[in-house]
Amino acid sequence: MIQAGDEDHANQARNWGRAGIARRNQRLSMMGFRDETGSWYGLDNAAVIMPAVTSAVSTYLFRLSATIDEPIHLPSLQAALERVARRFSYFSVELRSGFFWHYLEPHEAMPRVEADARSPCQDFDMHKRGSLLFRVRARERTIACEFAHILTDGTGGLRFLKNLLAEYFRLRGTEAGPDPDLLDLDAEPAPEEYEDAYNRYFPEHYPHPDYERPAYHIASPSLPRGSYRVITGELPLAEALAKAKELGVTLTELLTAAYIEAVQAIWLEEKTRERAVRRHRIAIEVPVNMRKFLATKSNKNFSLFVHPEQDMRLGPREFSGILSRVHHYLRYEIDGPSMARHISRNVSGGRMLAIRVIPLVLKSPLMRFLYAYYGDNKVSGVLSNLGSVSMPGPLAARIERFDFIHAPSPVLKVKVSVLSWRDSLYISFGSLATSRELERLFLTRLRRLGLPVKVECNLEE
Amino acid sequence: MGRGRSAEGRNVAQAKTGFNDETGEWYSLDNAATIMPAVSDAANTSLFRMSADIDEAVNLPALQKALESCARRFPYFCVELRRGFFWYYFQPSDSPIRVEADSLSPQQGFDPNRRGRPLFRVRARTNRIAVEFSHIIADGTGCMRFLKTLLVEYFRLRGTEAEGSDSEVYDLCTSPEADEFEDAYHRHFSENYPAPDPLPPAYHLRGRPLHKGEYRVIRGDLGLAEALAVAKNYGVTLTELVVAVYLDALQNIWLASDAKARRRRPLLAIEVPVNMRKFYQTKSNRNFSLFFMVYQDMRLGRRDFKNIVERTRYQFRLENEAPTIARQISRNVGGSRHILVRLVPLAIKDFFARLLFAALGENLVSGFISNLGAVGMPPGPATRVKRFDFIPAPSSVLGTNASMLSWRDRLYIDFGSRLESRELERLFFARLRGLGIPVRVECAFDEARLGHSGTVPRESLTGTVPREPLMGTVPREARR
């Protein structure tokens, strides 16, 4: 019986959240506009930098896909897509350049289901006129949605996919039960669905995050242009959860520790001279869904991240030591007020008059410079856990699996994405590197913990 | 490989602190002590204190006799501080060591830089035997070993023999080994570790200081079993719980302080000393402690107690480990071995030591709490000790500090303060009471005010003092 006597933690998170809701925040979080030129949307705070730093390889596309129990019926999928795209009108946009900022303009034509390719998340240029910022692809029994991160994060993307699946199955004769993520497809989208929650919860007078040293990056020759290798490990969820529980950690903590251990092994293999050049800080970016701290209906980006790290100058660590540090680090850092420091830094920049008056042509190089310093430079890898996916009753039986693949990164080379569906845990490594060392070390660690891992690779089928 | 052996050899050579040459016998200071003489003065005496309340009025002749035997066994403590051209050093003290009378304000009226007296003293009053050690010669571990050896010898002379052996009680018939005064920092130096990251300046308690020469001690007497049970309920260790209570008290004081202080110093930082003997082997009775910090950034808003406890635990588990703390050895020892540092005359070293200490020492700390853990005594004398106390060295910058230890079924948390305000102590003990831990608090200052002399009978020493004087500030006139 803990008798602290004070308000509980959740309460407190609400309290600091409330302090952030100033009227100005409310106004600046509105992203939909209608004027003499028609209607248009602003980019959310996390998306602002992306148009400047994207490239043909770094497409900023992430992918969520579902494999169902029948070959895809294309006409039904197309019909479902059209209906869902109308409901998610704020996703049916293309990217345009204004004088000061990029903005999103509604796309005239209806999106069309495309054929899937062997390498996902490639062949895409968000700047191309007339091209949508997401695409729906189909192949055999798989329906895949690839979203430019400029539009949304994993939460928004998954909501879209769930609505698309529900509508598809409705057309194919299976009605969905109730689910909080399923929208009324005939309703008009509410402005809150595309609000910029970062701006809405901007905490005034907050400190910025602490300085971080640049992180070590795995070196490996790149795959041929246009190739994106996805290695997926499938594990029994119950056994993975039991193992995590036995070790006193969460699944994300366990996987992050396996990740750090794998990078550590690669770091130790480097020659001493290269190590000095290639940095001694291993840090893994673990995205955090900010919706769990701050209420929003937004389907735009609203994630931030923490960087569990390890200083290799203090020597290599055993797996148990890494795990304990990751556990305590994540508990310490995944804390509402601490996370809000990132909002403070990111949003205050965008609100500064001196930044706002710079024309976009000059702003873009500035953003590239900032990104080179703050972005992938500070981490060695990314591990994004979407958690367990839920579907309403009758549909769940018809879906065999979900997959989640990260946007490719030429700097980090490999990124890891995780989700679980029913009895299975899926760990996907999206890689631009020829080397598969990281994947091998990571999955070997899971096997050594006694977890059976089934591995498949998109380039080898 | 050869390089590794020579680094090892150098560490062994540098760890030696005892010398005997044509000038006679002398000792060098350990690495942590090096900076202390420069930053000690009549107020910041560098003295910390451990005392035992026993079951009889102290027999002075027996204590004096025991002290003399102990002083012979611990010659490396019976030293005076001397200035060389490059470094301070210790010279064996010629003056006889006498038990002194205790005073209302402990750890005052002492300047380690003054010649002609050893760097520790033994004091007695009614039923209390206290040793006050300058941090220049030892840390809490060394001091406790001395006190325990002294107590065992005292009780032997008083007719209570110790049964069995205790590794911390020294056999007075043996001679000291050189390992007992080795500089373990040098012994365990590794140049491979990076220097620690720079730490930010921290919030300080402010307020009217006490008169010169005054040091107010508020002693808390808590039920150990209850405290451990509360810690267990929160899933933390006792130290973690107490540090969280300390942070919580500081948080309330910070929130009540004026806007300018809040703006300038929004960071609460508690220094937690770590006994490095738990990570590295040494027999040394000199200093071998380092520390880590527990933070709370007040710019992120007030936190509730449960949240503070959790976050304290996470910081402990991340920081309280050998490689992270050893980074300090790397910096401190590496610095002192640097040729430029060695070549600078002592007067200039002192100047820089003060500068460094002002910028990197207490400036980075809001409060300090040292946990000595459970004290053990061999059967026999054990039944004759009623209570142990551990009082931290006074600091004008921090104002108030705390130390704790446990003895049998009691937990003793003592605050030493140079400030008139007792707000920190009040908030601290009030929170512990609120957690359901029985707390008895006493303050010798108030007993004096209530009409007792400095040498009060035992009954009133352990009795519960009315809460009122503790809540507010005692007027200066009333204490005079």
Structural domains present in chain B: 2-187 (3.30.559), 216-479 (3.30.559.30)
Chain B contact for A221 (CB, 8 A cutoff): no
Look at strands A303-306 and A114-115 and give their pairing: unpaired
* B384 — pLDDT class (breaks 50, 70, 90): very high
In this complex, the residue of A5, A12, A332 whose CB is nearest that of residue B303 is A12
Residue B165 has pLDDT above 90, yes or no: no
Percent of chain B having pLDDT more than 90?
77
pLDDT digits (tens, 9 = 90+) for A400-433: 999 999 999 999 999 999 999 999 999 999 999 9
The structure tokens listed for A69 are 């129990």
Residues of A in Cβ contact (< 8 Å) with B315: 332
- Does position A269 have pLDDT exceeding 60, yes or no? yes
| Chain B environment of A338 (Cβ under 8 Å) | 300
Tell me what the mean pLDDT of segment B311-321 comes to. Answer: 96
B191 touches chain A (CB under 8 A): no
Residue B299, SS3 per DSSP: helix
- Chain A closest CA to B318's CA: distance in Å? 6
Give, as one character, the DSSP assignment of residue B354: H
A35-91 pLDDT tens trace: 888 889 999 999 999 999 988 888 999 999 999 999 999 999 999 999 999 999 999
Q: What is the pLDDT of residues B249-275, one digit of tens each?
A: 999 999 999 999 999 999 999 999 999
Mean pLDDT, to the nearest integer, of B208-223? 95
The pLDDT, as a whole number, for residue A305 is 95
- Provide CATH code, domain A12-200: 3.30.559.10
- Minimal Cβ distance to B297: which of A1, A207, A329: A207
Distance CA B348, CA B341 (A): 10
Torsion (CA) A88, A90, A96, A97 in degrees, nearest 10? -150
Pull the structure tokens for residue A239.
């056994």
Return the residue of A nearest to B306 by Cα.
A4
User: Model confidence at B5, in pLDDT bands (50, 70, 90)?
Assistant: low
Q: Mean pLDDT across the stretch B66-75? A: 96
Average of per-residue pLDDT values in chain A:
90
Neighbours of A451 (CB within 10 A): 18
Residue listed under structure tokens 């000061």: A100
What pLDDT, in 10s, does the model give residues A282-306? 999 999 999 999 999 999 999 999 9
Helix (H, G, I), strand (E, B) or coil at A419: strand
Identify whether the C-beta of residue B297 lies closer than 8 Å to the C-beta of residue B266: yes
Question: Model's pTM, two decimal places?
Answer: 0.90
B244/chain A closest Cα distance in angstroms: 12
Distance between CA A95 and CA A91 in Å, rounded?
11
Share of chain A above pLDDT 90, in %: 74
DSSP conformational letter for B115:
S
Q: Do B193 and A314 touch (CB under 8 A)?
A: yes
**R_g (Cα) of chain B, nearest Å:** 22
Q: Which residues of A26-47 are buried (b: 16+ CB within 10 A; e: fewer)?
A: eebbbbbeeeeeeebbbbbbbb
Task: List, in order, residues 6 or more apart from B173 with CB less than 8 Å away.
Answer: none
Show me where the domains of chain A are located. Answer: 12-200, 229-460
What does the alpha-carbon distance between residue A320 and residue A325 come to, in Å, rounded to a whole number? 9
Q: Which residue of B has its CA nearest to A9?
A: B307
Mutate to test the interface with B, among A12, A213, A324 (most CBs of B within 10 A): A12
The mean pLDDT value for B17-38 works out to 92
SS3 B169: coil
Measured from the Cβ of residue B118, the count of other Cβ atoms closer than 10 Å reads 21
Return the CATH number of the domain spanning residue range A229-460: 3.30.559.30
Tell me the pLDDT of chain B averaged across its residues.
90
The nearest CA of chain A is from the CA of B188 a distance in Å of 15
Q: How far apart are CA B58 and CA B48, in angstroms?
A: 21
Contacts of B299 in chain A (CB under 8 A): 205-207
What are the start-end ranges of the H helices in A21-120? 23-28, 50-53, 74-87
Cβ pair B312, B240 in contact under 8 A: yes
ipTM for this model: 0.88
Q: Which of B184, B197, B454 is nearest to A314 (CA)?
A: B197
Q: What is the mean pLDDT of residues A111-116?
A: 94
Asked if B193 is an interface residue toward chain A (Cβ–Cβ < 8 A), one would say yes
Would you state the pLDDT for residue B454? 43
Which residues are paired to B459 by β-bridges?
none
For tokens 């608090």, name the residue.
B441
Q: Are B28 and B87 in contact (CB under 8 A)?
A: yes
> What tokens does A266 get?
């690669």
Same fold, A12-200 and A229-460: yes
Give the residue among B157, B223, B74, B167 at the shortest CA–CA distance from B377: B167
Q: How far is B426 from chain A (nearest CA, A)?
A: 17
Residue A332 sits at the chain B interface (C-beta within 8 Å): yes
Average pLDDT of the residues in B17-26: 90
**Hey, is the C-beta of B234 within 8 angstroms of any chain A C-beta?**
yes
Q: pLDDT exceeding 70 applies to what percent of chain A?
A: 94
Query: What pLDDT does residue B235 have?
Result: 96
CB A61 within 8 A of CB A407: yes
Q: What average pLDDT does this structure show over A136-164?
A: 96
Contact: A4, B306; criterion CB under 8 Å: yes
> Is beta strand A281-289 parallel, antiparallel or unpaired with respect to A381-388?
parallel
Tokens representing residue B256 in the block: 């009540």
Instruction: Check residue B463 and give its pLDDT.
Output: 33
> Quick one: tokens of A251?
């699944």
Residues on chain A touching B313 (C-beta within 8 angstroms): 328
CA distance B380 to chain A (A): 39
State the DSSP code for B392.
P
Q: What is the pLDDT of residue A276?
A: 66
Higher pLDDT, A187 or B468: A187
pLDDT score at B470: 34
Contact yes or no for A6 and B300 at CB 8 A: no
pLDDT digits (tens, 9 = 90+) for A237-259: 999 999 999 999 999 999 999 99
Sequence length of chain A is 461
User: Which residues in A lie closer than 8 A to residue B300 (C-beta atoms)?
Assistant: 16, 206-207, 337-338, 340-341
Contacts of A294 (CB under 8 A, 6+ apart): A13, A17, A20, A197, A201, A302, A336
B419: which DSSP letter? Answer: B
Q: What strands lie across the sheet with A102-106, from one edge to the other?
A: A32-35, A38-42, A102-106, A93-97
* Nearest CA-CA partner of A413 in A442, A375, A380, A451: A380
Q: Identify the pLDDT of residue B458.
A: 38
Q: Which of B292, B294, B318 to mutate to test the interface with A (most CBs of A within 10 A)?
A: B318
Which among B306, B317, B327 is the nearest to A328, CB-wise?
Answer: B317
Question: What residues have CB less than 8 Å from A95, skipping those under 6 apart?
Answer: A51, A102, A103, A104, A126, A127, A133, A150
- What's the CA gap between B400 and B271, in Å, rounded? 12
Task: Summarize pLDDT for B411-465 with one digit per residue, the tens.
Answer: 999 999 999 999 999 999 999 999 999 999 999 888 776 654 444 333 333 333 3
Q: In this structure, what are the phi and psi dihedrals at residue A305, rounded to the nearest 5 degrees?
A: -155, 165
Say yes or no for a CB contact (<8 Å) between B311 and A332. yes
- pLDDT on residue B231: 98
The confidence score (pLDDT) of residue A18 equals 53
Instruction: Tell which phi-psi region holds residue B96, choosing left (phi > 0), alpha (psi between -120 and 50) or beta.
Output: beta
